[in-house]
Amino acid sequence: MKRFLARIDEHFECAFLAHCWLSGEVLAILAGRPALGAIGAITVLPVLVAYAVSVRRGARAQQP
Residues forming contacts to another protein in the complex (CB under 8 A) are 9, 12-14, 16-17, 19-21, 23-25, 27-28, 30-33, 36-37, 39-40, 43-44, 47, 50-51, 54-55, 58
- Closest approach of another protein to the CB of residue 16, in Å: 5
Considering the complex, state which of residue 1 and residue 61 has its C-beta at the smaller distance from another protein: 61
Characterize 29-62 residue by residue with b for buried, 16 or more Cβ atoms within 10 angstroms of its Cβ, and e for exposed.
eeeeeeeebeebeeebeeebeeeeeeeeeeeeee
Q: Residue 52, Cα to own-chain centre: how many angstroms?
A: 9
- Closest approach of another protein to the CB of residue 17, in Å: 6
